[in-house]
Each structure stands twice: as structure tokens, then as C-alpha cells.
Amino acid sequence: MKRLISSICPLVMILFLASFSFKAERIRKVPAALKVEKPTPVLYPKNETNAKLKEVRPPFLGSSFIGFKEALAFRESQGNYFITNTLGYMGKYQFGIGTLQLMGVYNATQFMNDPGLQEKVFHTNIARNKWILRREIAAYAGKRVMGITITESGILAAAHLAGAGNVKKYLNSRGRYNVQDAYGTKISDYISRFSGYDVSVVSARRNPRV
């Protein structure tokens, strides 16, 4: 009897382990319905005036000021501090030499090799454009021009693209004066693309310098 039990026990153990291994193998398999075969569009987290399905671009930082400046930088240069485009615009935010001089920066080489300086110039330029466009921001924010909802961040992004003076003309002409840059991007494109960000962290300043 003892011999029979001793011969049966190993067999039972083998069958038990084999059964456990089979179950574990079944558990590891991912159902076809849960497999991700392609990217899925998601809702971009902006305010209610711009809450619609959009292409997601890194970095994903929402509607904060950091989200605004990084989204703008990604559109301008894909966030590259060390790039110069075919027209000579430089750095992460693609500044021209004339704008740099207005900010108090006269050494282009230093500017290109100093990411911290580039960030300071961007912040200073936003403060400057906010001062120049303060009346337009007060008059047009929340209104619609040519079917586009005007927001403070959209106005400031458009000023980065085409200059504050051209944005004044665009708004005061109710969208009829809609200039574009050398690559075909219009003022209205930036007003729409960069609407709804919170840029209140930057205060308007008259003739600021780095």
C-alpha cells in the first residue's frame, strides 16, 4: 500500500503543476479587444471655448502658461533651442535680431547658446506685447472675429508671429487685415490655434528689457 501511495503522489504533483502552468499561460494572453493597434485621439484640456478634439502635441501641459509657451515653441521650432530657420530667425521661439535688440540682447551667438536667456527673452517679449495690446485685449477678448473666438493668449501668440502692430490692424479691421508670414501662416491661424491658455502670470510692462 505504501509503495502504491509513493508512486501515485509524484504523478499527482506533476498533474497539478502542469494544470497550474496551463492556467498561467492562459492568463498571460491579452484579449484582442484590449490590444492597442493605433493611437487614439483624446480631448485636449482647454477651456470651454476651445474644448474640441485636437491633435495632441508634446509636451502635454494643458492650458497653463507653461503649456502656452511650450506649445508655441513646438510650433515654431519643435522646441529646439539651437536651430536657425531659413530666414535667420533663431532659437526655440524663433526670434529675429531686431526683436532681440528691443529686448536688450545684442549678441546672437550668446543668445543661441544660452537656453536660460532665450526663456527670459520670450517672457519679456510677452510682457511687452501685452502692454502694447492691452486695449485690444480688453476690447476683443471673448468676442468673435471671422468666426474665431478671440482670447488673450491667441492675441499674444499672433503678436509673436506677426508683431503687435499687425495684430492691432487685424482686430480693428475685424479680420480683414490678415497678413501671413513667409511660410504662409496667418494671424488668424495663431489666434485660433493658441486660444484659451492662461497667460495671467505675465504682467504687461512698458518697454521691458532682459
Tens-place pLDDT, residues 79-109: 999 999 999 999 999 999 999 999 999 999 9
Task: Write out the CATH class of domain 48-193.
Answer: mainly alpha
20-71 pLDDT, tens digit each:
444 444 445 555 554 545 544 433 334 433 433 344 444 567 899 999 999 9
* Span of 46-50, 72-76, 171-175, 201-205 with lowest mean pLDDT: 46-50
Give burial (CB, 10 Å; 0-12/13-18/19+) of 92: buried
pLDDT of the residue at 118:
98
pLDDT of the residue at 62:
80
Distance of alpha carbon 145 from alpha carbon 140, whole angstroms: 9
Domain ranges for the chain = 2-34, 48-193
The verdict on pTM exceeding 0.75 is no
Mean pLDDT score, 171-177? 96
Per-residue pLDDT band at 12 (split at 50, 70, 90):
low
Mean pLDDT score, 168-182? 95
Distance of alpha carbon 204 from alpha carbon 210, whole angstroms: 14
Quick check: 117 pLDDT over 50? yes
Q: Which residue has the cell 489666434?
A: 191
123-160 pLDDT, tens digit each:
999 999 999 999 999 999 999 999 999 999 999 999 99
Element (H, E) at 145: strand 144-145
Quick check: 15 pLDDT over 90? no
Quick check: 111 pLDDT over 90? yes
Q: Which of 126, 137, 133, 88 is nearest to 210 (CA)?
A: 126
Per-residue pLDDT band at 3 (split at 50, 70, 90):
low
